[in-house]
Structures are given as C-alpha cells and as structure tokens.
C-alpha cells in the first residue's frame, strides 16, 4: 500500500535478509594485526635479497656513487657476464656439487636405513641408541672443530673436499634418522607384514613399500640437506686453503679480494649461487604432498 511503484520489494527483501543473516560481528583486530606483523617480517627478510639484486644490476660506478636502494638508470648485465665467464666460478660450482650431492645422498641413505630399523625392527636398547643419535643434532660445530681439524690433518686430507663430505654426511645423520623414523612409523605395520607374507625380505619391504610411501619425507630431507650443505661456509673455510678447492660460498667472499670494490659481481654471484637450491626446492616441492598413505588401511 505504501509503495504504489512496487519498488518496495528490494527494500523488504534486504530487510528480510538482514533479519535472517548473522548478526554483524564485533570488529576483530587480530587478523589485521597479524597481517601487519607478517608484512613487516616479509619486508625485513626480503630487503637484503632486494639489495643484492639491485647491486647486481648496477655498474661499479653506480654502486660507488649511488644510493643502495635506488633503481639503476639502466639494467646492467655486465656483472653476470663477468661471473659466468670466470673460470674460478666454474671451479667453485664443481667443488660445491662434489661436496653437496654425495653428502646429501649419503646422509639420507644412512638416515633411511637407521630410521627404518628404529621404526619397524625394535630391538633392546633401540630407543636409547635413537636418542643418542638424535642428540647429535645439538652439538655445536665449534666444539668438534679443532679435534676434527687435527684428525683430518693427521690423515693428510687438508685442502681436499673429503673432510667436508664426511662431516656433512655425519652431521646430517641425526636429522635424517629422526625424520625418517617418524615417517616410517606412520607406515602401517600391516603393510610390512603383508609384504613379508608375500615373500618380501626386509630390504624389499623398505625399497618397495616403505620408501615409495615416504617420498614426501625424502623430498623434504633432500631439500633441507642440499640447501644446508650448499650454503655452508664454515667447514670449507676450515678444511680448504687453495682457491682450487674452494666452494661457492667462499668464492663469493674471494671475489671481493680480487677486485677493490666488487659489490656488483658479488651480488651477481650470490644470485647465481642460490639458483641450484632454488631448483632443488622447485623440483622436490611437488612431492611435499600429504596423503600418500591414504587408502592403505581401513575405509
């Protein structure tokens, strides 16, 4: 009656919706606060990377005279060209691969073997041994640095890559064992027993059942170990002396020694040096999926 034009429908509808819909909630400051905090942290973490990126595309002159955070007038790729053409850089890369790949593979292999035993083949004193191995994670490297130096010196292995491979393998075992044991523990025991009844031995249970189901754990470990060993600075610094044996992280610093101010080149090498870890991450991240054991048991 009140509305001959018939436009009341929308108004009445909205009123009805408001009556039915949830009451307006009081303003919750938490999501906003958390967002702001996370944003600040993200900026803090990304700023150095941005700084490196900016200096890698500037000429030495621009770096010397300009502002650190300023964009260059023109993107300069000479630093990258210089780094890529430098034979010393090639050597650093090869050395780092020679350390990282075997140490990653070995530490994961040992972790898989030990983790399987701890998870699936309990034995007397096993838990104690497991704790002992895992406690290895908490050793500060500085404590064992001097004894290790004397040990490898005695073996005549100073200025070779062997000590670095060996130490990274050994130091990776605790975390690899811990992670693999915990992952294998989630693989239902009935799967192992079913395989054993079908004629599998323990090795076949591991390689055909447990490992294929543990790809997420293996991917995480591979990424972690690769990144950690690739980026290591301390052990190569201690055990290598000649430029021929240096790894990439030392190489970045060495470049500084060869040129007076080499921020641009260093920035370029830093970015190139982080590419392998990025590639490893991108390659393995598709295995970081859950639910691999879904459908194994029960409905």
Partner 1 sequence: MADVRLDGVAKAFGSVQVINDLNLAVDDGELLVFVGPSGCGKSTMLRMISGLEDVTRGRIMIGGRDVTHVAPSRRRVAMVFQSYALFPHMSVADNIGFGLKLARTPPAEIRRRVAEVARTLQIDPLLDRKPRQLSGGQRQRVAIGRSIIRNPEVFLFDEPLSNLDAALRIRMRLEIARLHNRLGVTMIYVTHDQTEAMTLADRIAVVNGGSIEQLGSPMELYDRPANLFVARFIGAPSMNVIPGTVTVEGGVPAIACGETRIRLSAGPVPPGTSDATLGVRPEHLSAVNKGEGDFAGRVEIVEDLGAESLVYLQTGLMADSLTMRVTAGSGLSAGDAIGVRLDPARLHLFDSRGLAIR
What are the residues binding partner 1 (CB under 8 A)?
Answer: 188, 190-191, 193-200, 204, 209, 212-213, 292-299
Tokens of 143: 């404590």
Query: Which residue lies nearer to partner 1 by CB, 213 or 265?
Result: 213
Query: Which residue lies nearer to partner 1 by CB, 173 or 209?
Result: 209
Q: Is 230 in contact with 100 (CB distance < 8 Å)?
A: yes
Least CB distance to partner 1 at residue 210 (A): 10
Query: Which residue lies nearer to partner 1 by CB, 85 or 294?
Result: 294
How far is the CA of 104 from the CAs of 23, 55, 144, 224, in angstroms?
A: 56, 32, 21, 9
Residue 48, number of CB atoms within 10 A of its CB: 10
Least CB distance to partner 1 at residue 239 (A): 41
CA distance 261 to 254: 12
Query: Which residue lies nearer to partner 1 by CB, 40 or 185?
Result: 185
Least CB distance to partner 1 at residue 287 (A): 12
Tokens of 101: 């790949």
Least CB distance to partner 1 at residue 199 (A): 4
Least CB distance to partner 1 at residue 291 (A): 8
Residue 299 carries which DSSP code? Answer: -
Q: Which residues contact 221 (CB under 8 A, 6 or more apart)?
A: 108, 111, 175, 176, 179, 180
Query: Which residue lies nearer to partner 1 by CB, 286 or 298?
Result: 298
């Amino acid at each position: 009656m009140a509305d001959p034009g018939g436009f009341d429908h929308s108004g009445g509808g909205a009123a009805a919706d408001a009556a039915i819909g949830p009451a307006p909630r009081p303003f919750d400051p938490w999501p906003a606060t958390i967002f702001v905090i996370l944003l600040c942290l993200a900026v803090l973490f990304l700023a150095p990377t941005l700084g490196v990126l900016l200096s890698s595309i500037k000429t030495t002159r621009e770096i010397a005279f300009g502002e650190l955070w300023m964009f260059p007038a023109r993107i300069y790729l000479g630093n990258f060209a210089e780094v890529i053409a430098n034979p010393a850089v090639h050597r650093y890369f090869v050395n780092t691969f020679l350390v990282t790949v075997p140490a990653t593979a070995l530490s994961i292999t040992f972790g898989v073997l030990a983790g399987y035993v701890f998870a699936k083949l309990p034995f007397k004193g096993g838990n104690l041994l497991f704790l002992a191995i895992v406690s290895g994670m908490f050793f500060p490297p500085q404590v064992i640095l001097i004894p290790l130096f004397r040990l490898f010196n005695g073996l005549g292995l100073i200025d070779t890559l062997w000590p670095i491979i060996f130490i990274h393998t050994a130091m990776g075992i605790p975390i690899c064992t811990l992670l693999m044991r915990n992952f294998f523990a989630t693989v239902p025991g009935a799967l192992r027993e079913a395989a054993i009844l079908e004629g599998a031995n323990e090795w076949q249970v591991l390689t055909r059942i447990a490992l294929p189901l543990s790809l997420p754990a293996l991917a995480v470990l591979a990424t972690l170990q690769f990144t950690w060993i690739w980026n290591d600075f301390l052990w190569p610094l201690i055990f290598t002396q000649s430029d021929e044996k240096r790894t990439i992280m030392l190489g970045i610093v060495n470049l500084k020694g060869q040129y007076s101010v080499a921020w641009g080149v260093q920035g370029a090498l830093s970015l190139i040096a982080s590419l392998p870890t990025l590639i490893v991450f991108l390659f393995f991240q598709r295995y970081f999926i859950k639910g691999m054991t879904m459908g194994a048991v029960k409905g």
